[in-house]
Structure 1
Amino acid sequence: MSNALANVRKPHLSLNVRDIDAAVGFYRALFGTAPVKHYHDETTVHSVLQDDTGVDSRQRRTGYAKFDLDAPALNFVLNEMPGTRFESCGTLSHLGLQVDSTDDVIAMRERVAAAGLATREEMSVDCCYARQDKFWVADPDGNEWEVFTVLEHLTPEALREKATRSACDTGCATSAAPARAEAACCGA
């Protein structure tokens, strides 16, 4: 039997935090390195499109940071959830596995689905300041797992430009367009 996880690049852990800057300070000291992404804006949302009841669960992020560690290999993300949002969501956002390619995402999704687990696919979505192919699966306790590959890294400026361009293409450009920069996805 081949190792089904052979193509996993890194495990992924996403935490909800009250204050992004305080959390970044703590983890910068703990890991001994700066985050590779650290933003304070609302140009990204969490990509779980709907919860198990079918309700849209996307929420704008006000702060986001990503540590991309080699030793230990870990894709570690912080999502700012101020005030009551933090209290209602708790500290664990989601878990995941970063793989090398879209083919790896598809192969793992097919294997998981063949094992009888329900998956939710998201291909070519803008999420977490990146364009990604992924799928989601929840464990028996409701912990969300995402299996994903990063196709392209995106900046807040690129997301705002993309949202404006999209709004212009559809003929419905409004001042709210930048706030919908990632309405198709993503927080994860």
Structure 2
Amino acid sequence: MSNSKKVHIALNVSDVNRSVAFYRAMFGADPVKWKPGYAKFSIDEPALNLTLNYEGEISEPGALNHLGVEVENSTQVLAAKKRLAEAGLATRDEMNVDCCFALQDKVWVTDPNGYRWEIFTVKVGDTQPALNVSVEPTDSARQSCCR
């Protein structure tokens, strides 16, 4: 995928605020989006889109929510879907979906071990600007998407 923007990793977390503090220290950057039950870091080096998704009590510590690759546009999402289908892989697409407080087009595929991958583009970066937080939100306010 030569046209990818960033690798995407979505982590299930039991405490978004503690996790934000950790990843702020790890990457030396603030989240670009922080809402109740959700935070997103967009790191240039390494090229990473990291999201923290509130899940309450984590039954499997270290378990991933999902992985993904962010691409430039919907044409690239559809090209990826075609390539995956031609390889005989089952896909599930979501077009114009409001996910992670953003309007997105995406295609999902699952690897042989059960890891879920999404190839997606963001069409509208923030669909809920009223939920932006200037102070640390409580984690229990809302669970995020990408299920």
C-alpha separation in 2, matches of 1:151 and 1:136: 17
Match of 1:74 in 2: 48
Aligned pairs (5 A) from 1:34-183: 34-40=30-36, 63-83=37-57, 86-87=58-59, 91-157=63-129
Query: Which structure has more helix as a fraction of its residues?
Result: 1
2:24 equivalent among 14, 21, 28: 28
The aligned amino acid for 1:121 is D
- Stretches of structure 2 that go unaligned for 5 or more consecutive residues are 132-143
8 Å contact 2:98–2:127 — kept in the other structure?
no
Please give the TM-score of this superposition, normalised by the length of structure 1: 0.67
**Alpha-carbon distance in structure 1 between the residues aligned to 2:87 and 2:68:** 18
State the Cα distance separating 1:136 from its structure 2 match.
Answer: 0.2
**d(CA) in 2 for partners of 1:74, 1:157:** 23
Alpha-carbon distance in structure 2 between the residues aligned to 1:158 and 1:138: 34
> What do you get for the CA RMSD once the two structures are aligned?
1.9
| Partner SS, residue 11 of structure 2 | strand
**Within 1, Cα distance between the matches of 2:60 and 2:28?**
31
* 1:4-15 correspondence runs (5 A): 5-15=1-11
Q: Are the counterparts in 2 of residues 17 and 91 from structure 1 also a CA contact under 8 Å?
A: no
Q: TM-score normalized by structure 2?
A: 0.86
2:146 paired with 1:187: yes
Deviation at 1:158, TM superposition (A): 6.1
Q: Distance in 2 between matches of 1:115 and 1:88?
A: 32
Query: Identity percentage over the alignment?
Result: 51
- The one-letter code of the counterpart of 1:32 is G
Residues paired across the two proteins, number: 135
Name the SS of the counterpart of 2:23 in structure 1. helix
